[in-house]
Amino acid sequence: MGRDLSARLKAVRAQLYRERLENRRRNELFSAAIRTNDLREVGAQLYRYFFEYFGVNRGDITILTDYDEREFYDRVGWMPRRRLPSISWYRGQAERHRAYLGGLLEEQIFIGYTAESEKIIRDSLFLEASMLECMITKRPRIVNNVVRELSMEEIAQARHQETRSWMNWTVLHPDNSKVLAKMHMSFSKPRQPALKKLTERLLPFADLLRYRILHTRDFRRAKYLSERDALTGFFLRPILAKRWEHALEGAGRGGGVVSVAMLDLDHFKRFNDRYGHDVGDAVLKRFAQTVQATLRVSDVVGRYGGEEFVALFPGASSEAVRSILQRVHARLREADFMPASARARGAASERLRFSAGILTVKPGRRGGLPSFDEAIKAADELLLLCKASGRNCCAFRGRGGAVRRHRFA
């Protein structure tokens, strides 16, 4: 009797010790997670905890964009309060709407997968069907034993992934209106049917992930608005100044050049005067889209004010920038900027042109490097020469410092 009591007390103390360790580890996880806006790091921290205390061997987090739930239901042909669909229905819908479901992915985080197994998961319709099921039911689903509960095709894939059981669960928006994320947890051993208990243990982690997703989105949105012009999406002046310094540092290390171009839309005022500021805003947006679609990934564009823009071209000479701007001009030449309402009344086409002054700097040459303000001033002086010579052109300094002009075709 005494030995049994001693053994039970020892087991209780061991259990309490494990629970204290788990609680301490969970508190550390939560404390670290709320200090970062990197969702991948949050996901990695969550799964490290799941590996240690839940017996998970791999898993993934699928974060969904804000989607229109009514549109989603219309697409898949199902509405709330109807009878829940069958597994075969989910698979059929996933195959039909693969591109649409994939378009809802904001981010996917894979933990514990090899590159090969991650590719299989990405390419598999089972992932799409599982996501679709979670989006409709908004509740967890657990497979305690894949051999007993899944199809032969699913079993083969599960064996390839060394998975004997798995669980999917969803993270809902606070108003319960839509799914923010889906988490997949894979286990190397079959589990006992304990969905309720496992779900209760996971609730705090769902709350944590929900908070981090919403907070990170707010952070990214605020950061975007603080750095970019709301109308065009181009960077604001302070960000351009920082990018200029970074570009100079990079060119200095690599022995390259950096170019900056000051752009001004020719006779832009006519859009506001003739058609109104709404049309003027639409023209600016379309110009911004054209520029973004034409420039290189490394190039940076900002709105300097009104219809003036600044573009930074790391590693590009004046001639290279001239060629890039010529491509922008060619795309603009093909577009009609006449408002649809005015076009319907028989108004003539409206074309958009621009002029640009280009300054190229090579770090490492004698003399100090220009500050951002000095570079902009020099590019603006070249822009003024374009305006004085009829616009629709760019100007830059060639070898020896002589000004060269190029009229856009």
- What CATH class does 34-225 carry? alpha beta
Structure confidence by residue, pLDDT tens digits, 271-315: 999 888 888 999 999 999 999 999 999 999 999 989 999 999 999
Please list, in sequence order, all residues whose beta carbon lies within 8 angstroms of the beta carbon of residue 197, skipping any fewer than 6 positions away.
Answer: none
pLDDT reported for residue 193: 63
Q: H or E stretch including 70?
A: helix 69-76
pLDDT at 7 over 80: no
Report the pLDDT averaged over residues 357-384: 88
Please list, in sequence order, all residues whose beta carbon lies within 8 angstroms of the beta carbon of residue 144, skipping any fewer than 6 positions away.
Answer: 165, 190, 191, 192, 193
List every span in the chain annotated with CATH 3.30.450.40. Answer: 34-225
pLDDT at 366 over 60: no
Q: Answer for the pair 53, 202: CB distance below 8 angstroms, yes or no.
A: no
Report the pLDDT averaged over residues 63-68: 81
pLDDT reported for residue 235: 96
> Which position has the higher pLDDT, 106 or 359?
359
CA atoms within 13 A on the CB side of 72: 22
Report the pLDDT averaged over residues 134-140: 85
* pLDDT band per the 50, 70, 90 thresholds, residue 358: very high
pLDDT at 53 over 90: no
pTM of the model: 0.71
Please list, in sequence order, all residues whose beta carbon lies within 8 angstroms of the beta carbon of residue 98, skipping any fewer than 6 positions away.
Answer: 125, 128
Q: Answer for the pair 208, 186: CB distance below 8 angstroms, yes or no.
A: no
Please list, in sequence order, all residues whose beta carbon lies within 8 angstroms of the beta carbon of residue 291, skipping any fewer than 6 positions away.
Answer: 301, 309, 311, 328
pLDDT at 137 over 90: no
**How high does pLDDT run on average in the chain?**
86
CATH T-level topology, domain 237-407: Alpha-Beta Plaits (3.30.70)
Nearest 10 degrees: CA dihedral of 191, 192, 197, 200?
A: 20
d(CA 297, CA 215): 28
List every span in the chain annotated with CATH 3.30.70.270. Answer: 237-407
Question: Is 360 in a helix, a strand, or coil?
Answer: strand
